[in-house]
Amino acid sequence: GQSLEQPSEVTAVEGAIVQINCTYQTSGFYGLSWYQQHDGGAPTFLSYNGLDGLEETGRFSSFLSRSDSYGYLLLQELQMKDSASYFCAARVYNQGGKLIFGQGTELSVKP
Amino acid sequence: DAGITQSPRHKVTETGTPVTLRCHQTENHRYMYWYRQDPGHGLRLIHYSYGVKDTDKGEVSDGYSVSRSKTEDFLLTLESATSSQTSVYFCAISETITSGPSTDTQYFGPGTRLTVL
C-alpha cells in the first residue's frame, strides 16, 4: 500500500527549533509537500521538495532524501502562532497529481 | 488566497438521504479534488477531476459520486448518506500537475462539516 508516517504530536517552546519527520512508502513518488492546518481550517501549502536536499522559505525549511524515503520539516524561531497540525503529502505520478497525506503532526508551542 | 468556496459550510442530515456538496473556483484551474478528513486519518482523496466531464476515483470513493459540467464547479454527491460519512470535506484545486511547484500546488477550500445522524 501507499503510506506516510509522521509523529502524531510534538511539543516545543517558543523560540526553539523543531523538526517533524516523515517517512513514505509510495509508488510513483515524485515529490514531497508540506501543509499547515490551524484548528480544522483549510490546509495551506508550506513547502515542496521535488529534488533531494534542503528548501528554505523564511523560518521554515524542508528536506528530502529519496534514497531513504524520508523527509522533514524544520521550523525555526518558533512562535505561538505555529501551533497547528502539519501534514506531509506525497505527490504521485500519472494519477491526476493527487496527494497522499500522512496522518498529521500536531505541534504545540509553549511559552 | 485562491478563490475557492464550498457550500454548504455545515450540514446535518439523516441516514439514507442524498446530499450534494458544491465546490466553486474562480481561478480557472484544470484540476479539482475532493478529500475527507477524519481524526487519525489525515486527508483522504475521494474523487478528482482533470477537466470538464473528466473524473476519476480516489482511495475512498465508495458511496460517493462526482460531476463536473463546468470548469468552475465540482459537485460531490452522497447517494444515500451513512453515519460513516460524517466528516469534514475539503475541496482543492491545482493549475497543473507538472513538476513545477508554483503551478501544481493544491489550494484548499474552507471545508464543509457534514454530520449524518
Q: Determine whether B93 is exposed, middle or buried from the number of CB atoms within 10 Å of its CB (0-12, 13-18, 19+).
A: buried
Of A43, A102, A103, the CB nearest to B108: A43
Q: Is the pLDDT of residue B99 over 60?
A: no
pLDDT of residue B34: 97
The arithmetic mean of pLDDT across residues B58-81, rounded, is 96
Q: Is B3 on the interface with A (CB under 8 A)?
A: no
Angle B108-A103-B114 from CA coordinates, rounded to 5°: 55
**Closest in B31, B35, B105 to A45, CB measured:** B105
- Give residue-wise pLDDT tens across range A96-106: 667 889 999 99
* DSSP E strands, B2-101: 4-7, 10-13, 19-25, 31-38, 42-51, 54-57, 64-70, 73-78, 87-94
The answer to whether B2 contacts chain A (CB < 8 Å) is no
pLDDT per residue over B26-50, tens digit each? Answer: 999 989 999 999 987 789 999 999 8
Are A96 and B105 a contacting pair at CB < 8 A? no
Q: How much is the pLDDT for A94?
A: 63
Q: Among A31, A45, A87, whose Cβ lies nearest the Cβ of B42?
A: A87
Across B8-46, b (16+ Cβ under 10 Å) vs e yields eeebebeeeeebebebbbeeebbbbbbbbbeeeebbbbb
- B116 pairs with which residues across the strands? B13
Mean pLDDT of chain A: 92
Q: Which residues of B touch A103 (CB under 8 A)?
A: 40-42
B108 touches chain A (CB under 8 A): yes
Q: Residue B2 above 80 pLDDT?
A: no
pLDDT tens profile A11-60: 999 999 999 999 999 888 888 999 999 987 999 999 989 889 999 989 99
Say yes or no for a CB contact (<8 Å) between A45 and B99: no
The three cell numbers locating residue A68:
531513504
Each residue of B77-96: pLDDT tens digit? 999 999 999 999 999 998 86
Q: When comparing pLDDT for B103 and A73, which is higher?
A: A73
Residues of B within 8 A of A96 (CB-CB) are: 31, 33, 48-50, 56, 97
d(CA A96, CA B50): 6
